[in-house]
Amino acid sequence: MNTKYSNPKFPRVVIIGGGFGGIEVAKALKNKEVEVMLLDRNNHHTFQPLLYQVATGTLDAPSIAFPLRKMFRKQENFTFRIADVRGIDALNKTLDTDIGSISYDYLIVATGATTNFFGNSDIAYYAMPMKSVKEAVNIRSFLLQNIEESLLKTDLEERAAYLNFVVVGGGPTGVELSGSIAEIRNHILAKDYPELKKEDMNVYLVEGLPKILANLSPQASEKAELYLKELGVKVLLNVQVTGYDGDIITFADGSRIKTKTVLWSAGVMGQFPDGISPDIVVRGNRIRIDEECRVIGMKDVFAIGDVAAMITDELPRGHPGVAPVAQQQGRFLAKNIVRMLNGQPTEKFKYFDKGSMATIGRNKAVVDIGKIRFQGFFAWWVWMFVHLMSLVGFRNRVVTFINWAINYLTFNAGIRLIIHKYRRPERVSEHAE
Ligand SMILES: Cc1cc2nc3c(=O)[nH]c(=O)nc-3n(C[C@H](O)[C@H](O)[C@H](O)COP(=O)(O)OP(=O)(O)OC[C@H]3O[C@@H](n4cnc5c(N)ncnc54)[C@H](O)[C@@H]3O)c2cc1C
């Protein structure tokens, strides 16, 4: 494929994925003697940590997405194509994509992760994931549609199913999402829908482990649970989901909840094109890489971020699937590629863990930074500052800040719009040819 800046003198570095990892590699290769080609199936980068605010109508979708072309318009050695990469032919150093074949000298797989429904096709069909802007907007529509629908039901039990919202997965995403839905219940429901009282709506957070935020400190877990309960979220611990048919969610202990809305944040798994040997795919469908981010056994192919597992004695499960890992690996890999091209020795990746945090409604958050742990109002300010500064684009930061300020002062900011009515796509039979 020809590109505007095609320079046959320079090796071509192709990056699949314009997420947190991919954009860092591309940026760090600016002004270097390489041709950078970024491929993504979308034309934008998504700031996934704030997807839940799009799903619950606090922010609009463009505030957390940024056009990839705009991001790199001042980078001369950069080309972007919207492309879905289907396969890697490592022998011939080419990619099979929906826009044709693309050759590479160095390949970086930064394709991230997708929702893991753990093989349950009913849950995959009926529950709603939240990994992309589109999915977050679908959730927003579906939440609002179901509240509207509840008003049309005279049978109380039937109505309750439309007003029971179940979030599965007690990690940061589930905690933030359920807290945010509880805020709708507490501050918006009765105002927007005078026929309803907040007691009519129930928000559940279901977690299979004995605590939420299991990867944070015990203090953070306990406080987050307390904050959620104060918001009125019913936190169900040690509860395994066994099924969901669009009407009833069932649990391993035999209990069940009638609900039209199940939001799934219980796990992710790596996603990548064909051409990677199953022998190097490990737990969580991640590609095994060495300490220089090189895919084991593949020449000039690297993987970073959520899709990659750098397994060492200290990290038998690899790094956590968080944005800073992807970003640091991206910057590291760009430097190593330059070292390789200059004939210099390459280095090994070392992750600098800046800490973890989660917010639970207004005024409350939990923050762990190494041994420093704090919760409550100050933690919430820290959470807001970090997320605001991490957003890509000045406009997005300003718009988000204004939205948050209005929301804080009025309890009533919000983009509670149903732009496209959400309907589940037709179910494709698993046995279809
Ligand atoms: C709801 C949610 C909340 C989160 N909150 C936090 C948080 O608070 N803090 C934190 O640190 N982390 C958080 N994370 C995790 C964080 O977003 C990921 O760790 C990070 O996005 C990983 O970066 P990545 O570059 O590996 O992949 P991604 O950022 O997911 O990017 C992958 C890119 O690859 C593209 N792609 C995939 N396959 C193909 C293909 N075949 N062809 C072309 N393009 C392809 C995708 O379109 C996407 O743009 C959250 C994740 C989610 C889903």
Q: Going residue by residue through the chain, which has 433 residues, state the pLDDT in tens, using 9 for 90 and above.
A: 655 555 668 999 999 999 999 999 999 999 999 999 999 999 999 999 999 999 999 999 999 999 999 999 999 999 999 999 999 999 999 999 999 999 999 999 999 999 999 999 999 999 999 999 999 999 999 999 999 999 999 999 999 999 999 999 999 999 999 999 999 999 999 999 999 999 999 999 999 999 999 999 999 999 999 999 999 999 999 999 999 999 999 999 999 999 999 999 999 999 999 999 999 999 999 999 999 999 999 999 999 999 999 999 999 999 999 999 999 999 999 999 999 999 999 999 999 999 999 999 888 999 999 999 999 999 999 999 999 999 988 889 999 999 899 888 887 767 899 999 999 999 887 655 4
ipTM of the complex: 0.99
Q: Find, among 391, 330, 349, the residue nearest to 36 by Cα.
A: 330
Domain ranges of the chain: 12-115+269-341, 121-266
3-state SS class at 235: strand
User: From the centroid of its chain, how far is CA 62?
Assistant: 16
Q: Is the CB of 305 under 6 A from ligand 1?
A: yes
d(CA 277, CA 311): 17
Q: Is the CB of 110 under 6 A from ligand 1?
A: yes
- As a residue count, the chain comes to 433
Instruction: Give me the catalytic one of 33, 148, 157, 176.
Output: 176
Q: Find, among 94, 106, 90, 86, the residue nearest to 273 by Cα.
A: 86
Gap from CA of 201 to ligand 1 centroid (Å): 32
Q: Is the CB of 176 under 6 A from ligand 1?
A: no
Hey, whose CA ends up nearest to atom 19 of ligand 1?
Answer: 322
Cβ neighbours of residue 70 under 8 Å, at least 6 residues apart? 393
Long-range contacts of 290-294 (CB under 8 A, 24+ apart): 291/348, 291/349, 292/333, 292/336, 292/346, 292/347, 292/348, 292/349, 293/329, 293/332, 293/333, 293/336, 293/349
User: Fold match between 12-115+269-341 and 121-266?
Assistant: yes
Q: Is the CB of 330 under 6 A from ligand 1?
A: no
Q: Find, among 113, 100, 84, 86, the residue nearest to 276 by Cα.
A: 86
Active-site residue flag, 135: no
CATH class, range 121-266: alpha beta
Hey, whose CA ends up nearest to atom 31 of ligand 1?
Answer: 19
Q: Any idea which residue has 């003198």 for tokens?
A: 9
Q: Which of 14, 20, 88, 137 to mutate to test the pocket of ligand 1 (most atoms within 8 A of CB)?
A: 20
Out of 3.50.50.60, 3.10.20.90, 3.30.43.10, 3.90.800.10, the CATH code matching 12-115+269-341 is: 3.50.50.60
Q: Is the CB of 170 under 6 A from ligand 1?
A: no
